[in-house]
Every structure is written in structure tokens, then in C-alpha cells.
Amino acid sequence: MMTTSEKGILLSAPRATAPKSRWRSVGTLLLHAIAFVVILKMLFEIYLHLAAGEEPPSSSREKCPQVGPLVPSQQSPALSEMEEYLRSDKFRDDTVDRVAGAVRIPTQSYDDLGPVGEDPRWETLYGFADYLRSTFPLVHATLALEKVNTHGLLYTWKGTDANLRPTVLMAHQDVVPVAEATKDQWTHPPFSGFFDGKYIWGRGASDCKNNLIGILEAVELLINAGFEPKRTIILSFGFDEEIQGSQGASHLAEVLIQRYGKDGAAVIIDEGGGVASSWGSTFALPGVAEKGAIDVEIIVRMPGGHSSIPPAHNGIGVASELVTLIEANPYEPHFHAENPFLGLLECGNAYSPDFPSGLKKHLPWKEPSSPAKDKLALEAAREGDAIKYLFTTSSAVDIISGGVKTNALPERTRVLVNHRVNVGDQVSEVKVKITRLAHQVAAKYNLTVQAFNDDPEIPSSIKLNSGHNLEPAPVTPTMTEGVTPYGILSGTTRALYGESILMAPALMTGNTDTRYYWDLSRHIFRYGPGYDPEQGFGLGGIHTVDEKVSVDAHIAGVQWYSIFIRNMDEANLA
């Protein structure tokens, strides 16, 4: 406690130094004034962003959080031996033989395949299943195998804790056909499984027998190392993904959803994006969403007659006019806030030294009503069609047919238009637009429009039908706070490839077998984890000649699956 005299000294001290104190007071006032101006400026900037419908500016790296490497804590001499074997020349030779053997079995899916059990072209899948059984004896001795709709392969490695939701790993057995006319264009025969010391060549080598074999190799090795999972592991291998999966994945998914219920799986990994370099950085790009799809069939019915007295416009001409109108009215680039490509742009903005300044000036943003998003979409679209269609609905006229004889006017002309629907848009919007364009042409030629109904075709009409309809996929969460499937995927990837690899969400423009699994899990990742630093993603020739896969990328994929399975098993995740 202070005495009265001590208080007096303190009270009298300011008077003794009054001039100096006054200057301090002036300085304090100036500092407060400067701070006040700064705060006003910040508030004004926030107001401008809010008025524009945007979020206030924040640290760009907060928009692209990165998790640290995640290494399984459970170790044993056998697991260490397994990891060493994966790095050995012996494993390299063994895995080349296994992938090549899978490629040599031509499991081609054709658009005109008949029912399973009736069309003999399905029967090559029996040989593929036999090959897997002989190649992976521990898998088939340890896991329960169910044959779903004859050729769907569903393996279950039952975990010791029934309260943990399973990990689901997917791939497909089938491949796109090799056109007879292209066989002589291949550097090595398409079903040879030829290995040149760096690549394994052949149809299916990278889409996606490499993933299927890699998953089975990882499981085989874990069994051999004495690993016993707490969390059930499911391997689900469809057989007609290349023709929309209606016979394979749809049946497999139905079994799993009935067995485990809605959101019954902790995570699903299927084929998809990989590791790629851009803007001076290297990104791992798991697909967390897919565009939607709709095929629109256009049928133009007009009177026939002898071609020696043709009208000014016959059915083929009118159909062509409608095709021209469709192509002249493309969909505009448009960002919706849920589009995962925005996440990749945010990551590029945050970390990449060569990120384009034209894009940088429009970032960060997230609010869907922001006018800035349209400017960003238009700027990003300048990067080329491969980028533009990540945030634009596409339309492509793929098939046209009409007429039966050179001297007879066509009475029925058919056009098929394929659309891939932008994330945030709906299939119904495509129907509205193409109906409006059809009405423009129909009015000109006095035709009736029959739009997306079950009525039979009538003369002098334009009929619109929709076959394949798929809304854009739900977007997988990419949260990293706490323990999340995306965080485990990210940590596994950075543990294997190093922290120079940046994780960013990606969008699939095509559709995978996961289209049937939406109800099984909210956490679906379309991801090919193999990566060869010298060859990039390590893939080539998907759906065309000279398909191949880098053996180093494939080996890295096997390592990734083995680590991911163990990381998921240890995760504090229901």
C-alpha cells in the first residue's frame, strides 16, 4: 500500500514534466487519428465488398488450407519389410507382370451390348475374374467375394470394430473398345501389355486397370504383413463403367446402400484426377464433384416425296438449321460458389508464383451473387476450352442420321446432342433452352414442337426426347479442421510425395461409376493417386491410341493405397 507522501510524489510528477507530456499527448492523438483513418478505410473496403455481394478480403492462404503429412503410427517389422519391398526392383518386376497380365485380357465394353448372360461379349470378364483370383491368392483367401449381377466384384475385408463406417475403394474392369481401323497406329499392340522399361502399354493400362491392380496389390501386401483392419474395407469393381455402369456399378451400389444405409461409408475413392503441375506449382487434384449430363434426341418429321421435286427445305435441312442455331447459342461461362474449380484458383492465387495476374485481380471471392464471379469466369475461360468447360455447360452434336435412299426425301431425321451440365445448374435448364431454340425453327417451317413428353411422333413436327439424364454430383466437403476424409487423403498424399505438393479440389467433366454411390457417402473422391515426378501423372492415351502408364507412377499408387488404408484405420472418424 502507498503512503500519503508517495502518492504526493506521483501526483506532482506530471507537473514537473508537463512540456514533455504535452508532446506525448499530441503524439498519442496523432496515432489515434491514424488508427481511426485506417479503421475507416478497412470498414469502407468491407462495405464495398458487401455491397458487391462479396466476402471481405482475407488472407489468400486461408482459402487454401494445407494439412501436414500423415504417416500411420502403427508399425511392425512386417510392415516395414512391406514398405521396403514396395521400393525394391523385385516389386517393380512383379507389378509390371501383374498389370501387363490384366491389360492382355480385352474386357471391352460396347454400346450395343445385350443383357448379361445373353450377349457372349460379356464372357471375357470370366477370364478376368479368374486372373485376379490366381494373381491375388491372399485377397481371395481372406476377403469375402460376392459376384453381383454375375460380373460385379464386391470384396469385403471385415474390420474388428463394427461401429466404424467402411472405407470403399473402387475401380472398373472394363475398357473402351479399340477401333479396328486404329490398331496399326499403336506403337505396341493394344492388348500386348508391352513394357519398354518405363511404361506399360495397352488399353486399360491407365483407365483403369492400373488402379484396380494397385488396390489389390496393396491389400495383398497388407494381409501378408499381418495387418488386421479395425475399419471394414470394401473393394467394389464394376464392369461397364465405359457404357454408363447400369449393369455393374448401379447393382453394386444398391447392395452397399441396402447393407450400410445412407451415408453408411466413411469415404469412397474411385478413379479421377491426379497430380499435375500448373502456374509454377504441383497440385494433387482429387475430383470432389462431377458435371451433370443429358443427351437430347431431336427428331424432325417432314413430308417425303421424290427428290427430283424437292421443297426449299427438307427434314435434313431443317435439322441442320436447328443444329446451327444450337451451336450459335453456346452456354456462357458462369461460376457458382460450390464449383470446386474455384478452390483450385484460390490455391493457385495463394501459393503459385506464376498465377495469372488477370485471375488474381478477381480473387478472393465466394459469394454466389457477386458480379465479380462472372468477370472471373470470363477471364478464366481465356485459358482454353479445357478450362472453360469446368464452369460452363457444354453442348456437342455427336450423331446425325436421316434418309434411306438417294432419290427419296427424308421423312425422319435424327440428331443427338450431348450436354455436360455446369455445377450449380440443372438439367431442366438445358431442356428449357433447347425447347426455345426448337420453337424458333418450328415457327419458321410451320412445325409442331413435342418437347420432352411421352406422346408418339406426329407428322410435321420437331420432337425432343431426353435419354441419359444426370444432375451435377453433390460436392464433397473439403474441410481440414479436425479429422476429415479430405484431410486424411491430403495428409496421405503429402506424406508420400512431400509438402511441396499442394492439395486442391478438382472437378470432373466426365462421369464415373460414383454416380450411383451418392447416397452411400458424402465423402466421394475421384482420384488416381499414382505420380511419377519425371512423367507427371504418368498416364497417356486414355480413350485413344497408345494408352500407357508409367510403372513408377503405378508403384507410387500402390504405396498410396497401402498408406491410406492404414491412415483411415487409425483415424478418429466414425
Out of 241, 346, 552, 569, the active site residue is 241
Chain length of the chain:
574
Q: What is the largest CA-CA distance in the chain?
A: 125
Among 386, 566, 397, 393, which Cα is nearest to 491's?
566
Q: What is the DSSP string of 364-394?
A: S---TT-THHHHHHHHHHTT-HHHHTTSS-E
HSE toward the beta carbon, residue 330, CA cutoff 13 A? 15
9 contact partners, CB below 8 Å, separation of at least 6: none
CA distance 70 to 76: 17
CA distances from 345 to 273, 319, 352, 386, 466 (A): 16, 40, 10, 15, 34
Asked about 241 being catalytic, the answer comes back as: yes
Kindly report the CA angle at 254 between 248 and 259, in degrees rounded to 5?
A: 130
Q: What are phi and psi of 349, to 5 degrees?
A: -65, -35
What are 328's three cell numbers? 450459335
HSE toward the beta carbon, residue 482, CA cutoff 13 A? 6
Among 318, 290, 266, which Cα is nearest to 489's?
266
Annotated binding-site residue numbers:
172, 207, 242, 270, 543
The count of other CB atoms within 10 Å of the CB of residue 38 is: 10
User: Is-cis flag, bond preceding 474, omega within 30?
Assistant: no
What are 383's three cell numbers? 485459358
Asked about 130 being catalytic, the answer comes back as: no
CA distance 457 to 436: 19
Annotated binding-site residue numbers for Zn(2+):
172, 207, 242, 270, 543
What are 234's three cell numbers? 470394401
For 222-242, b/e burial (b = at least 16 CB within 10 A) is bbebebebebbbbbbbbbbbb
Catalytically active residues are: 174, 241
